């Protein structure tokens, strides 16, 4: 009886630890939300070269980039080692990204962080770009690399995914267009940038893609399709500080009008930069 009681206690502890981890994952918003990531995938898809398009089809089959854009979020529960790959925690008072400071974050509670010196979105984009371009790598690895890239290039363009303060704004409680509760959780600044601002635009994904394509053409954004993941992180970091709110702040109509242009520009740049990266890796 004593042995059974001990076994049951161990099971309960394991269940509690797993439950706590799931709650942590659930309470942290995922960059842009499904709608934003699919929009980025759509923008990139139309800018692939014919050769790159064929290579993508060989890897993904009938799936398009938009269809796999949220896969990296879907697998986080089964692959917890990927959790830190979605963001980079640049300190609020820093001048910008530092690889040695921001991509190695060992945590005693999670053993995989002890060995992962590339535990940030900047390094992971670089790593998966190399895997995708390696024609000798196994197909499964290249397919996963492509799926991670589609998602992570979107993540790095979300300003709150490049700042460490208050867990990227997750701990900054705000009112969002008059509401303090967003679904199951209190509204926070990170979630507003993931989903709230895009949803408040009140247009379909198809119309949003058309709107961003118009923006890309009118602002000639394709000339900014280059750059490195580190430079993209620095862009997002500076924007995060610009749009930052203190705890108890309001994401209201005024905030929306001031900052929806930043949302649109980041989504557009993510799409054209993703296309350029895939074209370089697969287009030859």
31-282 CATH fold: P1 Nuclease (1.10.575)
Q: Could you read off the pLDDT of 191-210 as tens digits, one per residue?
A: 999 999 999 999 999 999 99
Q: Could you read off the pLDDT of 60-78 as tens digits, one per residue?
A: 999 999 999 999 999 999 9
Q: Could you read off the pLDDT of 89-110 as tens digits, one per residue?
A: 999 999 999 999 999 999 998 9
Mean pLDDT of 216-244: 98
Q: Provide the residue ranges of all domains of the chain, joining segments of one domain with +.
A: 31-282
Quickly list DSSP for the chain.
-HHHHHHHHHHHHHHHHHHHHHHHHHHSPPTTHHHHHHHHHHHHHTT--HHHHHHHHHHHTT--TGGGTTHHHHTTTT-GGGGGGG-----TTSSS--HHHHS---BTTBTHHHH-TT-SHHHHHHHHHHHHH-TTS-HHHHHHHHHHHHHHHHHHTSGGGG--THHHHTT-B-EETTBSEETTEE-BHHHIIIIIHHHHT---HHHHHHHHHHHHHHTTGGGG----HHHHHHHHHHHHHHH---TT-EE-HHHHHHHHHHHHHHHHHHHHHHHHHHHHHH--
| pLDDT value of residue 283 | 85
Largest distance between two CA atoms of the chain: 74
Kindly report the pTM of this predicted structure.
Answer: 0.89
Confidence of residue 284 (pLDDT cuts 50, 70, 90): confident
Q: Could you read off the pLDDT of 229-240 as tens digits, one per residue?
A: 999 999 999 999
Mean pLDDT of 118-146: 98
Mean pLDDT of 210-229: 98
């Amino acid at each position: 009886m004593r042995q059974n009681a001990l076994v049951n206690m161990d099971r309960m502890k394991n269940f509690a630890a797993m439950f706590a981890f799931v709650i942590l994952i659930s309470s942290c918003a995922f960059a842009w939300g499904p709608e934003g990531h699919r929009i980025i995938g759509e923008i990139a898809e139309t800018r692939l070269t014919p050769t790159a398009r064929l290579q993508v089809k060989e890897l993904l089959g009938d799936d398009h980039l938009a269809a796999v854009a949220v896969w990296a979020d879907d697998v986080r529960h089964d692959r917890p080692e990927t959790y830190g790959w979605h963001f980079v925690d640049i300190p609020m008072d820093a001048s910008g990204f530092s690889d040695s400071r921001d991509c190695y974050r060992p945590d005693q509670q999670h053993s995989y962080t002890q060995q992962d010196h590339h535990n940030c979105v900047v390094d992971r984009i670089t790593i998966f770009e190399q895997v995708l371009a390696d024609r000798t790598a196994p197909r499964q690895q290249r397919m996963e690399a492509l799926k991670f890239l589609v998602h992570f290039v979107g993540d790095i363009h979300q300003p709150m995914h490049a700042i460490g303060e208050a867990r990227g704004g997750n701990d900054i409680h705000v009112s969002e267009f008059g509401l303090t509760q967003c679904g199951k959780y209190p509204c926070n600044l990170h979630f507003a940038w993931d989903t709230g601002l895009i949803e408040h635009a009140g247009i379909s994904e198809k119309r949003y893609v058309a709107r961003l394509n118009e923006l890309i053409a009118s602002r000639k954004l394709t000339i900014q399709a280059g750059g490195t993941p580190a430079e993209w992180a620095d862009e997002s970091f500076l924007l995060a500080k610009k749009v930052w709110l203190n705890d108890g702040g309001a994401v209201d109509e005024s905030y929306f009008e001031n900052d929806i242009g930043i949302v649109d520009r980041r989504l557009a740049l993510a799409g054209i930069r993703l296309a350029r990266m895939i074209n370089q890796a697969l287009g030859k």
